[in-house]
A and B are shown apart, each in its own frame.
Chain A
Amino acid sequence: MTLRSLFIPITLLLVIAFLIGPFLIIVAASFSAGETLAFPPQGFSLRWIAKVFTVESFRASFGMSLFLAIGGTAVALVLGIPASYALSRYKLPGAEIVRTIVSAPIIVPGIIVGLALLRYIVVPFQVGITLALFLAHTALVLPYAVRVVSASLDNLRSDIEEAAVLLGSSRIGAFFRVVMPNIRGGIMSAFILGFVTSFNQVPVSLFLSGPGVRTLPVDMIAYMEIVFDPSVAALSSLLAFLSIGIVFIAERFLGFSRYV
């Protein structure tokens, strides 16, 4: 074997190690029996995993994150599905520009979005913290919703709607009778992607969180600033496995990767 032929496998291994390594370290650290977050872990125990469930603020912030992820994604879909439909079915002037603008938050760093929301929406309009977070998460998820739903709409021939109309359906009826059922997989995928994105979102939430109202990731950062025990690692592992589980199920039943 030459050095040349080894180059690609070695690079691949390094990349995988780089991506998965930190995750493995954190998982290992969560089973530590020691008092502080450390690697390699000292001994083996489930005490930190158990502790996660007893921390009051984690429970509250987990609830908040869940609410934002589910509610925000749902609202983003309610807005995003009609928007995607209009973008894909009508040759609107400037549809490409709208597509670009709608997906802008994917490109723009979260910090900037958070700051902008805080500075120009939350402060001047005196928006409550929960509402602000909700709006921010909706706005963040919207691009993903539009993108994924658009992809599945583009794969669906538009003549089936005309066929439905000629069989007696109204235009709107045709949308619900033949379009929605055929993009269900795309909508579910958008929901899952939106959920995971919202749930893992840090920078925007960091700006908008206030006293007593925090998302889980922000709460974890706050917790770590005070207590440096392995429970944060334990919680991270739990969340990671939750995400992997969701994506695995989604891929299995929906062919998730077709849309993302």
Chain B
Amino acid sequence: MSDASYLSLEKLTLAYGDSVAVANLDLDIRKGELIALLGPSGCGKTTTMRAIAGLLAVKSGHVRLDGADITRVPANKRAVGLMFQSYALFPHLSVYENVAFGLKLKGMRGTELDTKVQSGLKSVGLSAFANRKPAELSGGQQQRVALARSMVMEPKVLLLDEPLSNLDARLRLEMRTELQRVQKETGVTMIFVTHDQAEALALADRIVVMKSGKIEQIGSPEDIYNRPTSSFVADFVGFENIFPLENGKMKTSAGLIDLSGKAPSAAGLAWRPRMVTLGTGPFQGTVRGTSFAGDAREYLLDTSFGPIKAEVEASQPTHALGAGLTFDLPAEKAAPLSRFV
């Protein structure tokens, strides 16, 4: 086992009956890494997590963890923790008993057990709630019980399936910090699933973007945010103006269009609304819509080659609806896409 592949998925194919949900997935994760699995609904994030946990049989390929092939190891012998979106706390047991559940199964008893459970509860700030039942806790507290319950087992990998999606915005931020802290303190390898790119960017060491059962791109948050390699990822992280390239020219419904600056050799180019220059440039558009977003103002332009979204600082002079505007899509600012789908 090399350092770069503490957990590795090799040509992993997962299916429900005959319908393949994940195909030929390769992924290497370092020890102690925090990975975000990002992608649209139905792309196979949960399926992949369930296979790593051992809850879903692998159709073909391998899962290796800490040097051992665990593809056929049953879920209860894997030392993989999974936090469910619904928390899946045991309703009949107290918070204390929930956290003690796995430790007891390991044969831990007496003061050793008690010490471990107490410190687990303390680490998530729930010592005072030890005797409550899950139903008597708030969503955020239930979540923390679930986290403590998984963490006291000292799993080699902790999987979190949309851990924050059931929480309101404020709690989400709080839990985000909490997850980060727990991860730092324990150094556990974590993979979490999310729909929310902001969450992935804020938390992860690396982001894995999935689409229809395949990996679209793996990279650091900076990579994913600034250098998407496919139109799909670009669109996902907010590049709203995306065009294919042909011979260095932008291919649009109005034909091939010359760009200012030198276009890189790529399959396509993508611009965030911020990257569009308004007021000068070779192109002509009409303001179709405008909206105020605090420190910025967004414009939707009608052009001969389709709608363009632009964003300028709010301090700039405003343009009225229906006004004609010149603008530019500077080639050197655009993210070059190697794949256009």
Contacts and interface: CB of A to CB of B under 8 A. Distances in A.
B75 A165 contact: yes
B90 A164 contact: yes
Contacts, number: 58
A168 B76 contact: yes
A160 B153 contact: no
A103 interface: no
Interface in B64-111: 75-78, 80-82, 84, 86, 88-92, 101-102, 105-106
Where chain A touches its partner, the secondary structure class is helix
A182 interface: yes
Interface string A159-188: 110111111111001000110011000000
B102 A167 contact: yes
A165 to B, nearest CB: 5
A177 B86 CA distance: 19
Contacts of A168: 76-77, 102, 105-106, 153
Given A167-B149, A170-B76, A157 B105 contact: no
Contact of A166 (B53, B89, B90, B91): B53
Interface residues of B, number: 24
Given A165-B75, A166-B75, A160 B90 contact: yes
B91 A169 contact: no
A167 B84 CA distance: 13
B298 to A, nearest CB: 41
B1 interface: no
A178 B75 CA distance: 17
Nearest to B53: A166
B55 interface: yes
B55 A162 contact: yes
Nearest to A156: B91
Contacts of A177: 101
A169 B76 contact: yes
Interface of A: 157, 159-160, 162-170, 173, 177-178, 181-182
